[in-house]
């Protein structure tokens, strides 16, 4: 009897250890800790599932590939569609079938095969000098190649993923010949060699170096909330391009489950949480992004910029043009 009881205790102990081990999700994230940590903490508080997170700005796909089947990562959070697609194309992900996620995230913002899902959107806005140009309500991305803006445009590297996605959207809408001509026109209108980040371009407008710049929408909010950078933001208008035709280009942050996830059930539960009301609201408030889930309120600051029409083309269709966009940027020597 004692031996039976000892065996039962051992079995129950192993079961408890297995259950405990399953109640964990390991996350690799390109999103910054200040944004993600409060959301992950809320998930853990509600579910009892512990979340371990590692923050990697660069080299995430390379790390996953190197770790292979031994990777501890169950879930990856990325900052744009290009990085999502890189993970998928390198066979580092697996599809996730979840009716909850499908109900929360519109088809435009998820992969047709459920291999990736967007969590937020951000507009690739055009900022204009308040003093020298004013607000430009009818501005189009195509106008950046117009000779009237010669010497008046600043941008970060054309090969940065945010600009690559914009070029990919131009390819999706206009084809290669017209997009090449557009890139050459934009390059001819640059006030300086592409450099810095999105905020540096707004600073350059404040300093009179240029009158127009490209920048993601949430940077405007972050600058307005920074004592040091608020004067830069105050020097520009935020314009939503192409409101008279196809709508403004939006990029996405998103999530994938890794191919070798050790805790797929718990990871799926976290993915469902991230697509839901509470997490979407936190994204909106903490980083001033646009939630992908319909009906979730914007932050008051973002709402004050006004409504806009986004490009209705599925993000997956734009992402297919990424390689061609990089090739074109090289061929026109955009950064040179």
Instruction: List the domains of the chain with CATH numbers.
Output: 2-121+250-298 (3.40.190.10), 122-249+311-331 (3.40.190.10)
Q: What is the pLDDT of residues 269-302, one digit of tens each?
A: 999 999 999 999 998 998 899 999 999 999 999 9
Residues 6+ apart with CB under 8 A from 74: 25, 26, 27, 257, 258, 261, 262, 263, 264, 266, 267
- C-alpha closest to that of 236 among 130, 109, 314, 124: 130
The residue length of the chain stands at 336
> What mean pLDDT do residues 303-323 have?
93
Q: Which has the higher per-residue pLDDT, 63 or 8?
A: 63
The candidate with the shortest Cα–Cα distance to 253, out of 223, 273, 283, 282, is 283
List, for residues 16-68, the tens digit of each pLDDT value: 333 344 589 999 999 888 888 999 999 999 999 999 999 988 888 999 999 99
At 7 the pLDDT is 36
Q: Using an 8 Å Cβ cutoff, are 221 and 302 in contact?
A: yes
Is-contact 52 263, C-beta < 8 A? no
Q: What is the pLDDT of residues 146-176, one digit of tens each?
A: 999 999 999 999 999 999 999 999 999 999 9
Nearest to 75 by CA among 253, 315, 259: 259
Look over the chain and give the mean of its residue pLDDT values, rounded to a whole number.
Answer: 92
pLDDT at 310: 96
Tokens of 216: 């993601």
DSSP secondary-structure letter at 92? -
- Cα separation of 181 and 166, whole Å? 15
Q: What is the pLDDT of residue 2?
A: 40
The per-residue pLDDT for 16 is: 39
Q: Residue ranges of the alpha helices (H) in the chain?
A: 2-22, 33-47, 60-67, 81-89, 99-104, 161-174, 176-188, 198-206, 217-224, 230-234, 264-274, 277-287, 300-303, 315-319, 322-331
Q: Which residues on adjacent β-strands are paired with residue 122?
A: 251
Residues 6 or more apart whose CB falls under 8 angstroms from that of 57 comprise 30
Q: Give the pLDDT score at 133.
A: 96
Query: Average pLDDT in the 117-126 region?
Result: 96
**β partners of residue 121:** 252, 290
| Res 324 pLDDT > 50 | yes
Closest CA to 161 of 232, 84, 108, 96: 84
Give pLDDT tens digits for 252-275: 999 999 999 999 999 999 999 999
d(CA 58, CA 44): 26
Q: How far apart are CA 189 and CA 178, in angstroms?
A: 17
pLDDT value for 31? 86
Say how far apart CA 318 and CA 37 lie, in whole Å.
30
Report the Cα 132 to chain-centroid distance in Å: 31
Range scoring the smallest mean pLDDT among 2-11, 33-42, 110-119, 268-277: 2-11
């Amino acid at each position: 009897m004692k031996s039976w009881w000892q065996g039962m205790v051992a079995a129950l102990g192993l079961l408890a250890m297995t259950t405990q081990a399953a109640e964990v999700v390991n996350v690799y994230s390109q999103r910054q800790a200040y944004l993600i940590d409060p959301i992950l903490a809320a998930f853990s508080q509600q579910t009892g599932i512990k979340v371990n997170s590692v923050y990697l700005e660069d080299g995430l796909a390379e790390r996953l590939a190197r770790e292979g089947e031994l990777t501890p990562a169950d879930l990856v959070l990325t900052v744009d569609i290009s990085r999502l697609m890189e993970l998928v194309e390198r066979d580092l992900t697996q599809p996730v079938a979840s009716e909850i996620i499908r109900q929360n995230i519109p088809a435009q913002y998820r992969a047709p095969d459920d291999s990736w899902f967007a969590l937020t959107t951000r507009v690739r806005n055009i900022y204009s000098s308040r003093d020298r140009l004013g607000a430009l309500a009818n501005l189009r991305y195509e106008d950046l190649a117009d000779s009237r803006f010669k010497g008046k445009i600043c941008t970060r590297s054309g090969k940065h993923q945010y600009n690559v996605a914009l070029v990919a959207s131009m390819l999706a809408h206009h084809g290669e010949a017209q997009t090449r001509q557009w890139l050459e026109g934009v390059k001819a209108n640059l006030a300086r060699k592409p450099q810095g980040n999105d905020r540096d371009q707004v600073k350059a407008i404040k300093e009179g170096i240029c009158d127009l710049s490209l920048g993601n929408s949430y940077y405007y909010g972050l600058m307005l909330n920074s004592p040091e950078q608020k004067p830069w933001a105050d020097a520009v208008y935020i314009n939503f391009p192409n409101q008279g035709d196809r709508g403004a280009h939006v990029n996405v942050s998103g999530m994938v489950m890794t191919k070798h996830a050790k805790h797929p059930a718990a990871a799926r539960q976290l993915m469902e949480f991230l697509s839901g009301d509470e997490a979407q609201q936190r994204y909106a408030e903490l980083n001033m992004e646009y939630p992908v889930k319909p009906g979730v309120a914007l932050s008051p600051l973002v709402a004050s910029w006004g409504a806009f029409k986004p490009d209705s083309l599925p993000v997956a269709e734009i992402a297919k043009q990424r390689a061609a966009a990089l090739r074109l940027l090289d061929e026109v020597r955009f950064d040179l």
